Amino acid sequence: MDIHTVDIAILGGGLAGNLLARQLRRTLPSLSVALYERSSDTSWKVGESTVELASNYLTRRLGLSTYLYENMLPKNGLRFFFDTPEKDAALVDMSEVGSMSFTAYPSFQLDRARFEADLLRMNAEAGVDVHIGAKAHDLALHEQAAPSPSGLHEFSVTENGVTHRVRAKWLVDASGRASLVARQKDLRIQTPEHGIAAAWGRFIKHADMDDWGPPEWRQRVRNTSRVLSTVHFCYAGYWIWFIPLGRGVMSVGWVGDKSIFRDDMRKPDGFNNFLREHRAVWDLLKERAELLDVLAYKQLAYATKQFFSGGDRWFLSGEAAAFTDPFYSPGSDFISIENDFITDMIARDHAGESRAAIAERSATYDEFMQFRFQATLLLYKNLYPTLASYELLKLKWEFDIACYYNLWCAPYFHDEHLDLQSLRGELRRKDFVIQGLENFSALFQRLEAGFRRQGLLHRRNLGHATHSISTIGFLDDLRTPRTRRQVLRTTEAIFNATRTAALDLLADLGETPVPGERTLPLYEFMLATPLA
């Protein structure tokens, strides 16, 4: 059997693997990179929407700004619409949360099939040894505890009926849910605490939301494009997305509590029938729209015991490692941070840094990814019922987006995640941050329960609109690094603004003994005690 030897082998030619290959060629041009993609055609995938952190990675780190603006659609933020309990509201009557101008930091809607095909081509042109229709199998990791005879990771690849053996110094598994490494190392952890399913399809010949309804409805958002937003139609326990892929194609998907999932949603007729139950959604599709394909997952989220083993030179990126929830499109954010960590560890290893130092760094990077996973899951876990209400999701959205910019985007923009000292400082505070997020989760759950008990979840779901976010006045400050005090001050302001609004809602319900203190010092939010 032929043996091919390469410095870095990447399993998987999807988003995670392709972006990493590009990053490695740009950062470490002296190292050879081979990429193995099992599928022989770049099939359609979901995960089209990027948010600001991933877009920063794509534009700043990977130099894809011009490519993205020329070939993909710019994204006009997130947009939410709310319905009646009977799901019979017309689109223009629905309450709306969404901006009337493009966001301050760029983001994009990706047609994954086109993007990944282009990345494969660009990577091949940049010298990556790209193998399409190449199935990897019979993996033997070379680990300090269990060395392989060659002293390198080894696996077999079968393509065009021929099998050869590959040896690589560094191995990155970016092969998605089928991950060879995750299976072999038994890394997967189920997350029954977040039982969310999804079904999705691509439509053509759908109606144009930007050429819809009366002129006043479009002028309400200054005629900015609603189509270019990731549009969410929100219901108790689930949401339906509309994401434009360009060239007349619209991705439409359902994500919701597993108990609502119906097996027939895996089939075109069943999926269409489900969508038909929602007037505003169906008005945009109707019989004229053609459903090109449909896919589904019964359980979306899963965790991993480990993301990286820098000491043993193997790494996971993207869905080979873990997945939380698509609501705020965090998938490509995870890829961005993981690929940065992987590239950094390979670069240090290649430069001769000791294996012990890299193992220590790897453990810190791993701990950060686990922290990020835990914090991200807290945005969603037990909170799908709040989607029913314009008032509740508006409050939660303003909290979530402000925390996202303040705590996650800003440090990334200035590469603080690659500074071990800064990362360790952040990890020292992680229990407090997690406690703060848990406290807010409990507060949102309490509000939802109160609204539901009194039958008020839908009371403002028609005729209301929010087009600006009061909690993100600090966005301009993110262009330069901020001191930790500035970050914490901003955190304190976000927490107080959200809690104050929540207290007002509770008072409105007549459910709360409103405490004397309207504003709290930051540490109070991070203690194990209810916020109201």
Partner 1 sequence: MTRAEIYNRVVGILIKSFELDPADIKPESKLFEDLDLDSIDAVDMFVELHEVTNRRIDPQVARQIRTVDDIVNLVERELNGTSAAPSAAPAAPPANDPKDS
User: Which of 243, 335, 526, 532 lies at the binding interface for partner 1 (CB under 8 A)?
Assistant: 526
Would you call 167 helix, strand, or coil by DSSP?
A: strand
**Binding residue count for partner 1, defined by CB under 8 A:** 23
Strand partners, 302: 190, 323
The candidate with the shortest Cα–Cα distance to 115, out of 71, 147, 85, 74, is 71
Tell me if 69 contacts partner 1 by CB under 8 A.
no
> How far apart are CB 527 and partner 1 at their closest, in Å?
4
The candidate with the shortest Cα–Cα distance to 74, out of 90, 95, 93, 52, is 52
User: Which of 7, 438, 508, 511 lies at the binding interface for partner 1 (CB under 8 A)?
Assistant: 438
Site string for partner 1, 378-407 (x = CB under 8 A): ------------------------------
> How far apart are CB 530 and partner 1 at their closest, in Å?
7
The helix or strand, by DSSP H or E, that contains position 423, with its residue range, turns out to be: helix 420-428
Tell me if 432 contacts partner 1 by CB under 8 A.
yes
Total residue count of the chain as it appears in this document: 532
Choices 15-23, 159-167, 346-354, 522-530; region in contact with partner 1 by CB under 8 A: 522-530
Among positive and negative, which fits the CA dihedral 315, 319, 322, 325?
positive
Q: Residues 112, 154, 346, CA angle at the centre, nearest 5°? A: 65
Among positive and negative, which fits the CA dihedral 517, 518, 521, 525?
positive
DSSP-assigned letters across all residues of 178-230: G-HHHHHTT-EEE-TTS-EEEEEEEEES---GGG-S-HHHHHTTTT--STTSE
Tell me if 434 contacts partner 1 by CB under 8 A.
yes
Q: Residues 387, 392, 398, CA angle at the centre, nearest 5°? A: 100
Q: How far apart are CA 96 and CA 82, in angstroms?
A: 7
Tell me if 165 contacts partner 1 by CB under 8 A.
no
Q: How far apart are CA 278 and CA 282, in angstroms?
A: 6
DSSP conformational letter for 318:
G
User: Which of 435, 445, 466, 512 lies at the binding interface for partner 1 (CB under 8 A)?
Assistant: 435
Tell me if 527 contacts partner 1 by CB under 8 A.
yes
142, 154 Cβ separation under 8 angstroms:
yes
Residues from 492 through 511 that contact partner 1 (CB under 8 A): 492
Residues from 456 through 495 that contact partner 1 (CB under 8 A): 485, 488-489, 492
Nearer to partner 1, 347 or 434 (CB): 434
> How far apart are CB 363 and partner 1 at their closest, in Å?
14
Q: How far apart are CA 8 and CA 379, in angstroms?
A: 35
> How far apart are CB 183 and partner 1 at their closest, in Å?
24
Q: Which two tokens stand for residue 523?
A: 């540490």
Nearer to partner 1, 374 or 466 (CB): 374
Choices 15-23, 38-46, 260-268, 428-436; region in contact with partner 1 by CB under 8 A: 428-436
Place of tokens 């003994």: 513
Tell me if 364 contacts partner 1 by CB under 8 A.
no
DSSP conformational letter for 293:
E
Q: How far apart are CA 453 and CA 203, in angstroms?
A: 38
Tell me if 523 contacts partner 1 by CB under 8 A.
yes
Tell me if 421 contacts partner 1 by CB under 8 A.
no
Tell me if 430 contacts partner 1 by CB under 8 A.
yes
Tell me if 163 contacts partner 1 by CB under 8 A.
no
Place of tokens 């390979």: 346
Q: Which two tokens stand for residue 333?
A: 């954010």
Choices 16-24, 295-303, 411-419, 429-437; region in contact with partner 1 by CB under 8 A: 429-437
User: Which of 442, 462, 465, 509 lies at the binding interface for partner 1 (CB under 8 A)?
Assistant: 442
Nearer to partner 1, 347 or 522 (CB): 522
Name the amino acid, one letter, at 167: R
User: Which of 27, 71, 374, 422 lies at the binding interface for partner 1 (CB under 8 A)?
Assistant: 374
Binding site for partner 1 (CB under 8 A): 374, 428-432, 434-435, 438, 442, 485, 488-489, 492, 521-524, 526-530
